[in-house]
Amino acid sequence: MTPFMNLSGKRILLLGGTSEIGREIALNALELGAAVSGIVRKNPGDLGYPVHILDLLDAQQVQQYVSTIESPLDGLVFSVGEFVRAPLSLLTPELIQRAIDVNINTLIVMLRALVVARRLRRGASVVLISSISAYLGVRGIAPYTMAKAALVALGRVLSNDLMRHGIRVNSVSPAMVRTRMSCGSPGEQQWLDQFGKERYPLGVGHPIDVAGPVLFLLADDAKAINGTDIILSGGAIRT
């Protein structure tokens, strides 16, 4: 019997390899037998897997990198993101554009280059990391929320576009996760604990809680799943 969630021999590219969620995905994919490489903006030091420094908004730079990929990839994970906060009184087109560039256009530039160069194998899986913010109208974070909602919608469109190539596209939308960004100081830690009690009956998540569904979607066990967003709500959204 084939082991469940077996990634042996799969080649996976991770966009956003320095985030805690991205690193959790990468290290656990390695444990499951995958060969993992990451794309980062600046040198992070030793992460436990090879990384390449790349500006994902520079199409020429991305195309040049893709031309160096010898064998087609089995998986692409998009874990790039930037939390852009702004109430309506401070909202500007520039802030919106920044959120779209970081949270959407970085994916489009890389994915387009990979598809054109046929560097995604038939049967490959693309997994996008969105956010529960796409479903909750949390005040003050319009740029981030708009971008993450757009990412979920884009995933559905891409799932239809790439299905003819045998490529699946899905997304994962986690609620609040304990990372350096969300609880980097004692005050933030205290706030998150209280916020979690009020909003998340199942508790605030950890990076491994996001990595698990992502790894499942990368595996052949999920080969029938396409165009789906898995919401990791922690109980914040109730059906």
Q: Residue ranges per domain, the chain?
A: 11-179+206-231
The residue annotated as part of the active site, out of 49, 65, 135, 144, is 144
User: What is the pLDDT averaged over residues 10-26?
Assistant: 92
Query: Is the per-residue pLDDT at 82 higher than 90?
Result: no
What local confidence, expressed as pLDDT, does residue 188 receive?
61
Going by pLDDT thresholds of 50, 70 and 90, the confidence category of residue 138 is confident
Q: Which of 9-18, 128-137, 174-183, 211-220 has the lowest mean pLDDT?
A: 174-183
pLDDT of residue 14: 97
Q: How far apart are CA 48 and CA 132, in angstroms?
A: 29
pLDDT, residue 239, reads 46
For the stretch 162-218, pLDDT in tens is 999 999 999 999 988 877 665 555 666 676 666 666 677 777 788 999 999 999 999
- Per the residue annotation, which of 65, 131, 148, 159 is the catalytic one? 148
For residue 217 the two structure tokens come to 């979607």
Strand order of the sheet with strand 229-232?
A: 51-53, 35-40, 11-15, 73-78, 120-129, 168-174, 229-232
Would you state the pLDDT for residue 37? Answer: 96
Q: Which of 168, 70, 52 is nearest to 119 (CA)?
A: 70
* pLDDT tens figures, 83-107: 777 888 888 999 999 999 999 999 9
pLDDT at residue 181, rounded to an integer:
60
To the query of whether residue 42 is one of the catalytic residues in this protein, the response is no
Is 148 designated active site?
yes
Q: Of residues 19, 125, 130, 233, which has the active-site annotation?
A: 130
The CATH architecture that domain 11-179+206-231 belongs to is 3-Layer(aba) Sandwich (3.40)
pTM for the predicted model, two decimal places: 0.91
Here the contacts of 92-98 (C-beta below 8 Å, separation 24 or greater) are 95/143, 96/142, 96/143, 96/146, 98/143
Residue 169's DSSP bridge partners are: 126
Active site residue 200: no
What's the pLDDT tens digit per position in 25-75? 999 999 999 999 999 998 877 888 999 999 999 999 999 999 999 999 999
- In the prediction, which pLDDT does 195 show? 65
Bridge partners of 12? 36, 75
